[in-house]
Amino acid sequence: MTEITMTEYFKSVKNRLPDEAYNVLKALFDDGKMNKEELSLTAKVKRAVLDHIIMQLYALGLVDVTSEGKSRICSLTKLGEEYLDLLKSAS
């Protein structure tokens, strides 16, 4: 088994995530935490697709989801910020 660094791993994650995932991360970085409805509009991602993306980003530890009443509030984690920086430096 070949060992890879965390940086290499997260660079490869980009290839496995839907293209809209970057829009979601960027929206959370630029505008801060928001509910899924706001996030869908801000990131320009269909609501049905957004739920799938949020689950993937949450599993990777890039996004946190909390409950406030009936709303699910999404926010970028510190790891999510570092991942965005990695993507920007790779381009």
Does 64 fall in a domain? yes
Does 42 fall in a domain? yes
Query: Residue 1 — very low, low, confident or very high, per pLDDT cuts 50/70/90?
Result: low
Buried b (16+ CB within 10 A) or exposed e, 15-29: eebeebbbbbbbbbe
In this predicted model, what pLDDT tens digit does every residue of 16-70 receive, in sequence order? 899 899 999 999 999 999 999 999 999 999 999 999 999 999 999 999 999 989 8
Range of the domain at 62: 6-90
Looking at the structure of the chain, the number of domains it has is 1
What CATH number does residue 15 fall under? 1.10.10.10
Task: Please give the DSSP secondary-structure letter assigned to residue 70.
Answer: T
Does 1 fall in a domain? no
Per the confidence metrics, is the pTM higher than 0.85? yes
Query: Residue 79 — very low, low, confident or very high, per pLDDT cuts 50/70/90?
Result: very high
